[in-house]
Structure 1
Amino acid sequence: MQTDPLFAPLTLPCGVTLKNRLAKSAMSDSLGDGCGDPTPEQIRLYERWAMGGAALTIIGEVQGDPHAAEKPGNLVLGPRSDQAKLRTLTQRGAQNGALLFAQLGHAGAMTHPPIGSPKGPSALSLPGLVCEAFTRDDIRALPAQFAKTAQQAKWVGFGGVQIHAAHGFLLSQFLSPLFNKRDDAYGGSLHNRARLLHDVVDAVRDAVGPALPVIVKLNATDQLEGGLTAAEALKVVQMLDQTSIDMIDISGGTYFPGAKSASDSGGKGPYFADFCRAARKKTDKPLMLTGGIKTREQAMDILTAGTAEMIGLARAFILDPSLPDTWRNNGSGTSFPRFTDPPEGGITAWYTQQMTRIGQDAPLDPNADLDAAIAAYEARDAARIPLWHSKFGKP
């Protein structure tokens, strides 16, 4: 019998094999305990995704520097981490042949001000976004910081790491001419703007060795005027082809204040498939396509056309935590909710609260109010801030 393309194994350049082509892509699940450690709900969430058939799940925004975190629900890998809780997470999230990766995060200019010190490639003073500029010494220290975090991820049992260079966080900021106005070796030309990413990739690989998967998440476009363009992003893909990484995860959009994320933009179908097809001509690395993939048919088309080797899904895995098993049995999966005039951040908050319910083994609440979801999301973060200060100190 011919193997279903969705469930064919994929061997990465490092030699590690993914059991199928379906990945739960990185999301900020907001389920840390406020002290940088996992909660029982977070552990259960990743266990459920693993038991549901995912080949790969990625925990978004795992921080090495607690003063550069995106939110107080992030995990932190450092000398004060609860190693026992992290090992429980990595063991239970790697059941059923799944691999659990840590996304190496650093929010940079978009560090949450109540718990950190926003710094970016250049100083900015915009509505909702104020940051200082990194010094050259600050920048030179970053690759070693990423490498140390990756090494700790390996030590506590993560099966691989993803270097986050998308969605407007630190490495994405350096790539973007909208954020990066530097006139030194880290700004100006694309080669210079990509220098930090290249240095981080090399440092992480040296730290974890040749056998642990290292992948990069990259924006196809910032979807912001003056940001990274698709043409420049293709050149970054070509640069990454010359490195030791094992896969490039193609996504897009930027969490710039007031901007819609790609998943909220209302586009139809896989958002970045055209870019992925162009990227295939620039690299022999496996590609993962993330964003806008909702149906089994769309995923099959991407694989059979050779557009990408892996399918990255996020919200689909929330609506059906056993999505791979559903698709293996030829089910179509669940329908996506439709929201009329959603408030800013409402859809993200709605899905985040649903992840909490999955981790509690509670049924999804399709009728949950968006404003109530925002209020619950913000209240939970507010309650964590003093816990973060107690553990890591005030910024």
Structure 2
Amino acid sequence: MPPVQADLLLPCGVTLHGRLFKGAMSEGLGDRAGAPRPELGRLYARWARSGIGLLITGNVMIAARALGEPGNVILEDDRHLAAFHDWAVRGQRDGTQVWVQLNHPGKQAPRGLNAETVAPSALPFPGAMGRAFATPRALTREEIHGLSGRFAASARLAQRAGFGGVQLHAAHGYLLSQFLSPRHNVRQDEYGGSPENRRRFLLETFAAVRAAVGPRFPVSVKLNSSDFVRGGLSEEESLEVVRTLGEAGCDLIEISGGTYEKPMMMLGRGERGGFFADFSRRARALAGVPVGVTGGFRDADVIREALDSGAADLIGLGRPLAVDPDFAGRVLRGETLPRLARPGRTGVRAVDRSGSFDTLWHEDALRRHSRGQPVRPDENMRLALLRILASTGVQAALRQRRA
């Protein structure tokens, strides 16, 4: 069997069909109460029809008081469990699994979105991004323990709703990632200082989630290969986190990289072979559990080469699935595919310089697919910008993050 079609047995005993998965993308399809809108079920059913084995949701926030962007879905109690169940059922057809990505933004939340911003330490966001994010309050030990419990409670709710697994988002500069980073975590207690202390919150949260859902329910972690900023999480420390997660019994470690200071998950490096494939190969040798890698895989031949070379056990796809929901199915069927086009420039200097339009366009593509509308990366991008602003509103568009 070609590697891309081969099944993968996870440590918990669950089998994934095929070696492709959808990495998390922000859909912005939560309603005003944080419930998943019906469009999410339709969108995930569309992806499931392609035959892909695993779909990881976009950010699902563990608390209404800790949002990362407008349109976030929130899973903190059972008020909207029926809507979550519909999403799970519609996305899990013909062997496809849907895992809920659980997240807390920490200080990486736009100003004015939350009543209060919290983080490991009361440090403002460095550089120009400091204008977009409020200076946080440092969490107390008791609050840190409570947040581990909050992640666990949300994981249990996802299990009750019928999803196939959960993923803890410890990448891209969100709260779990902030604790790992010496750039953002300067605490002097047992949650800061040494690398062992800085990864304590992640490991305690993983243990709490595992206790809440049991040994047979998949629990994954998304982790940066590096933060790619001075003083951030290094590759050497990240490999130690990989090793400890493997020892803790993580079912799948997904490798990405970068933060909103330097969004390598979007900009990448070594794009021909995937942005983080070299690191994921090193991580796979240490982990003792399956490793997936996401970022820069827009070419079917590159996907197959990465699997053949042992770069990862699974390859994550993001924006190719926003352009073509059947992209994974075509790769699985062995089709020869042209490299997918990316949206062009709008011609509006401020928009094109900011780098935000690419994200806004792909989020709009997800909404269009959920409504059965066509998506064309060769469309007039100035007209596309007007359409997006009319749909989301100017203020909501300005609050969207860059990846």
Is the structural similarity TM-score above 0.5? yes
- Asked if 1:329 is matched to 2:328, the reply is no
Distance 1:79 1:183 in 2: 33
Q: Residue 160 of structure 1 aligns to which amino acid in structure 2? A: G
Q: CA deviation at 1:282?
A: 1.3
Q: CA deviation at 1:354?
A: 0.5
Q: CA deviation at 1:376?
A: 4.8
Alignment correspondent of 1:347: 358
2:318 pairs with one of 311, 314, 325: 314
Q: CA deviation at 1:264?
A: 3.0
Alignment correspondent of 1:263: 266
SS at structure 1 position matched to 2:292: strand
- Asked if 1:66 is matched to 2:64, the reply is yes
Alignment correspondent of 1:301: 305
Distance 2:163 2:332 in 1: 26
Q: Residue 106 of structure 1 aligns to which amino acid in structure 2? A: H
- Range moving further from structure 2, 322-331 or 262-271: 262-271
Note the alpha carbon deviations across 1:24-54, whole angstroms, 9 max, x for none: 0011111111211111222111110111111
- Asked if 1:163 is matched to 2:173, the reply is no
Alignment correspondent of 1:391: none
- Asked if 1:109 is matched to 2:107, the reply is yes
Q: Residue 123 of structure 2 aligns to which amino acid in structure 1? A: L
Alignment correspondent of 2:375: 364
Q: Residue 295 of structure 2 aligns to which amino acid in structure 1? A: G
**Conserved in 2, the CA contact under 8 Å of 1:64 and 1:105?**
yes
Alignment correspondent of 1:118: 117
- Greater relative contact order: 1 or 2 (C-alpha under 8 angstroms, separation 6 or more)? 1
Note the alpha carbon deviations across 1:42-84, whole angstroms, 9 max, x for none: 2111110111111000112111211111123111113363222
Q: Residue 287 of structure 1 aligns to which amino acid in structure 2? A: V
Runs of 5+ unmatched residues, structure 1: 386-395
Distance 2:131 2:324 in 1: 37
**Conserved in 2, the CA contact under 8 Å of 1:72 and 1:381?**
no
SS at structure 1 position matched to 2:94: helix
Alignment correspondent of 2:188: 183
Alignment correspondent of 2:10: 12
Q: CA deviation at 1:132?
A: 1.4
Runs of 5+ unmatched residues, structure 2: 125-129
Task: Calculate the TM-score normalised by the size of structure 1.
Answer: 0.91
- Asked if 1:135 is matched to 2:140, the reply is yes
Alignment correspondent of 2:287: 283
Give the share of equivalent positions with the same residue, in percent: 39
Distance 1:199 1:264 in 2: 32
- Asked if 1:22 is matched to 2:34, the reply is no
2:200 pairs with one of 195, 199, 206: 195
**Conserved in 1, the CA contact under 8 Å of 2:110 and 2:132?**
no
SS at structure 1 position matched to 2:136: strand
Distance 2:251 2:118 in 1: 29
SS at structure 2 position matched to 1:201: helix
SS at structure 2 position matched to 1:96: coil
Alignment correspondent of 2:296: 292
1:375 pairs with one of 389, 399, 403: 389
Distance 1:238 1:373 in 2: 46
Distance 1:102 1:159 in 2: 8
Cα 1:132/1:333, change in 2 over 3 Å: farther
Q: CA deviation at 1:306?
A: 1.6
Alignment correspondent of 2:127: none
Note the alpha carbon deviations across 1:122-164, whole angstroms, 9 max, x for none: 1123332321111121112111111000000000111000011
Cα 1:374/1:287, change in 2 over 3 Å: same
Task: Calculate the TM-score normalised by the size of structure 2.
Answer: 0.89
Note the alpha carbon deviations across 1:241-282, whole angstroms, 9 max, x for none: 2102101000011123xx434213465220111111111221
2:209 pairs with one of 204, 211, 229: 204
2:229 pairs with one of 224, 227, 234: 224
Q: CA deviation at 1:191?
A: 0.4
Distance 2:256 2:42 in 1: 26
Alignment correspondent of 1:389: none
Q: CA deviation at 1:382?
A: 4.1
Q: Residue 255 of structure 1 aligns to which amino acid in structure 2? A: Y
RMSD: 2.0
